[in-house]
Amino acid sequence: MKRFQKILVATDTRLDSHPIVDEAADIAVHNGATLKVVDVVPDFPWMVRLTMKDHQHVRELMRDEKQEKLDELAARIRKQGVTVETQVLMGQTSVEIIREVLRGGYDLVLRVHKGKDSRRQGFFGNTGMRLLRQCPCAVWLVTAEKTQFQHVLGCVDTSSEDDTDSELNDNVFDLAESISQYHGGVFSILHTWSVWNAQFLRRRMSEEEFDAIVQRSHDQVKSRFDRFLGQHGSSWNAENVHLIEGEPASAIPSYARDTQVDLVVMGTIARSGISGMVMGNTAEQILSSIECSVLALKPSNFVSPIQLEQ
């Protein structure tokens, strides 16, 4: 948790309560971090602009109303000794949040997992998914009802030699552990594995040959996983360590549901190494099935496709 020193909270002032603001303030207090709370007045649809003569004035009224509510939230936070700013941004919500991250050099964005008027099916709204894909810093999407994380799940993949993957794995482990300690809960570390092209191989070799490949694959994954755990003072035999056979897109959401996970910590970048890459297909599939809070991490070399206005 100590890694977060500049926190941006993107809230929706139309909501009845704002637990993520309180959570961010608590993190700021314990870490000596600064805090900025923002809301966004989105662009009006073109039909509204066409038919409403005073649409610009209406946007200004909406901005003033949101600013008033932000100031009320900030006044409460400042009583805790937190340095906090507020601002109403204007434009497409996800784009303006990311631009604010770029302007201010923030290292964490907190947002409710779904806005008040979200039309997107699934647990996360359109803005949340765009932030997960394109925001250059860590994004923490929090369920509106719950900010106490008694079971934190860190998802790692140690099967790659890539430095980016190693960086993400280390950060996932450290944050899952520290967040669970901060909330007085527990954390689990999960690694899924499977045999490459298993169905194809099973059809073209004997059962004994296929079983031997499965065992060798398991042993190799286990060895690398155990070596990684040792670097973090843990081991394969730890009670909170799990190596599960299965595809991550189904195994991770299933484990999270079955064990009542409150927060999943994971990396969201494909292994292509392309600067500005958004999310890999596996991460997209995992997030489409998760129904709890998510803290998504980016590697230090990630470059957002969103740029500041010239």
Q: pLDDT by residue (tens digit) across 25-73?
A: 988 888 889 999 999 998 877 677 667 778 788 889 999 999 999 999 9
Residue 277's pLDDT is: 36
Alpha helices by DSSP H, listed for 32-92, are: 46-51, 55-78
> Which residues of the chain are modeled with pLDDT < 70?
1-2, 46, 49-50, 114-122, 144-147, 269-281, 310
Backbone phi, then psi, for 252, in 5-degree steps?
A: -70, -50
**Are 190 and 155 contacting, i.e. CB atoms less than 8 angstroms apart?**
yes
C-alpha dist (Å) from residue 257 to 65, 128, 238, 260: 39, 21, 21, 5
| 115-146 pLDDT per residue, tens | 555 566 667 888 888 898 899 999 999 876 66
**Beta strands at 34-41 and 84-90: parallel, antiparallel or unpaired:** parallel
